[in-house]
Amino acid sequence: MENRSGVQISIKDLTHRYTARSPITFDKVNVSADPGEALVIIGRSGCGKSTLLHILAGLLDKTSGTVQIDGKDVTAPSSRWIMMFQAPHLFPWMTVEQNVGTGLRFARWPEDKIKNRVNEVIGLVHLEEFARNNTQDLSGGQQQRVALARSLVMEPDMLLLDEPFSALDAFTRATLQKDVRAISKQLGVNLVMVTHDIDEAVIMADRALVMAGSPGKIVHDFKVDLDDPRERQDPTVQEMRARLMQIFHEAAGTPAASDDEDSDAATEAELVGN
C-alpha cells in the first residue's frame, strides 16, 4: 500500500445538542491536528467524546461551530476517513478475504486488483493463515483485525476509532493497540480515537485530549512524547501514564489515585465506566 498524506483537522467552537430542548452535549470545543497525528480523546462517560467523533466522521450534524478536514467542511461521511466501532460488524458467512474486499467490490474494482489489494492488507494485519476462514470462526481479536483490514483496504487518510478494543481480553487489546499505532505511522494516516482507558491513550496517542464537565469541554491537551515502540513496563511509559492519570483526576474533580496498582485500576474503572 502507498503511504498516505494524512489530513489537517480543524474544529472550532463546536457545540452540539440532539434537540432544541435537550441539554448541550458539549460546548465550544476546539481541536486541531496535523497530518499523520494520532489523537486520543479520554473522559468520563457522558462527556460527549463519542458524539464528537461521530460529528468528525460526518455521521452526526453539529449544532454550531465548524468542522473541517483539509480546509473543507465535513457534512457527510467520506471514503477518505473510516470509522471502526466497538463491534466489528462483519458478514459472518463470508471469509476474511470476502469481508475485506467488500468495499472495493461496491466501488466496482476489477477482481484482479481486489485480490492483490486484499492480500496486501491481510498481510499488514497478520491474518494470512486465516484468509479463507469464515469470520464467524475467528476470535474477537481476529475479527477486529478483519475490521481494521476492511478499513485500510480503502486507503483512507484518517482512521476514527470508537473504543474498538474495549470488549477484548487484555493481551489481545494490548497487541492491537501497538499494531494499529504502528500501521498508522507506517502508512502516514491520522488516528482519532475515543477511549476510557488511560493506558490505551499512552500507548496510542501523540496527544491525549482530556474532556470533562457537563456540557463537555476539552480541558487539557497532553503531549505524549514517547519513542516507539512503547512498552507498558518501560519506566518512561509508566511515568507518562502517571502524569496523564493525575491530569484526568484533576479534570474529573476526584481524589488522585493511590500508588497501589489494583486500587488505581479500580478507581479508574469507577471514574470512567465502560
The rounded distance, in Å, linking the Cα atoms of 40 and 42 is 6
* Residue carrying the nine cell digits 494470512: 128
Contact yes or no for 14/53 (Cβ under 8 A): no
Give the domain ranges of the chain: 9-80+159-272, 87-155
Residue 265 confidence (pLDDT): 46
Residue 253 confidence (pLDDT): 74
Residue 112: C-alpha distances to residues 104, 107, 123, 124 (Å): 11, 14, 17, 19
Residue 110 confidence (pLDDT): 95
What is the pTM assigned to this prediction? Answer: 0.89
The rounded distance, in Å, linking the Cα atoms of 68 and 1 is 26
Contact yes or no for 181/201 (Cβ under 8 A): no
CATH fold group of domain 9-80+159-272: Rossmann fold (3.40.50)
Question: How many CB atoms sit inside 10 A of residue 63's CB?
Answer: 17
pLDDT profile of the chain (274 residues), mean per 10: 86 96 94 97 91 97 97 95 93 96 94 95 96 96 96 95 91 94 95 94 97 93 95 96 94 62 41 39
Residue 101: C-alpha distances to residues 90, 109, 146 (Å): 12, 10, 10
